Amino acid sequence: MERRRILLVAAVLVAALGTALVLVYARGADARAAERFDTVDVLVAVAPIGAGETVGDADAAGKLAVRPVSRDALLDGHETDAAALADQVALVPIYPGEQVIAAKLGSASEAAAPLPIPAGQMAVSVNLTDAARVSGFLAPGAQVAVFLNGTDETGGQPFTRLLLPRVTVLGVGSAAPQSAAAADDQDPETPDQLPPTLLTVAVDQRDAQKMLFASANGELAFALLDGDSTIKPGRAVTAQNLFR
């Protein structure tokens, strides 16, 4: 009888312990779920904001909005009020969907800091479409090869050729979007937006002249390089030798 009583008591204790553990786990799961779905209203870019643009100007242009973001997706230094940041300047480009954070904002004097141009070189900027700048993966300090898509002046045949084998990117900044509607004769009201970007690179005088001439008389494209990338000059690729 005594042994049965002990076993019964033990079973009751084990059941109570199991129930307590289930309750603790359930409460923890509820807390995690609440944290995941609990949101905070933060300042988010809804259109590209260029480096040097003030928060006040961006807000007036409709480039900012307050959007709910789950707590587990909040970034350090997130901002909530555009009016309080009106005089702050974007130190780097801020793209649609990005949270506006303190690390990307600063004073006008900080934004006007000179570019780190290597000795003996100069900074040249060209306007590119998103695809031509490697779909947004370029950043200051990157090494790129520059290609030219042009047309032969004698035969009028299109070609692609390496223009500059390796140059350093100094800055990447968004320009004003250009509407593609003008190029669509059938549907002039098409609101498609092409995202041009000003890409600034460090080159010497001769390469600057090449880039500016090529940009004005053809289309430039950039290829992102690393330390092991092999780039060498060669003949142009045309329709005649494309598959040779």
Which pLDDT tens digit goes with each residue over 140-152? 888 999 999 999 8
**Chain segment 167-189, per-residue pLDDT in tens:** 998 887 654 434 333 334 444 44
Do 197 and 140 belong together in one domain?
yes
How many separate domains does the chain show? 2
CATH number of the CATH domain containing 65? 3.90.1210.10
pLDDT 10s digits, 199-218:
889 999 999 999 999 999 99
Confidence label for 61 from pLDDT (cuts 50, 70 and 90): very high
In a domain, 116, yes or no: no
Residue 158: inside a domain, yes or no? yes
Within-domain flag for 51 = yes
Q: Is residue 30 part of a domain?
A: no
| 56 in Cβ contact with 37 (< 8 Å) | no
Strands (E), 71-157: 89-90, 105-106, 122-128, 143-151
**Residues 84, 59: contact at Cβ < 8 Å?**
no
Task: Give the per-residue pLDDT at 156.
Answer: 84
Q: Residue 159 belongs to what domain range?
A: 122-238
Is 2 inside a domain boundary? no
Same domain, 130 and 229: yes
Average pLDDT, the chain: 79
Look at residues 139, 100, 127, 85 and name the one whose alpha carbon lies nearest to residue 211: 127
HSE of 88, CA atoms in CB hemisphere, 13 A = 19
Q: Are residues 233 and 179 in the same domain?
A: yes
Same domain? 89 vs 142: no
Q: Rounded to an integer, what distance in angstroms lies between the CA atom of residue 128 and that of residue 136?
A: 11
- Give the residue from 48, 82, 111 where a domain finishes: 111
Paired strand residues for 124: 201
Better-predicted residue by pLDDT, 192 or 42: 42
pTM, full prediction: 0.49
For residue 178, what pLDDT is reported?
40
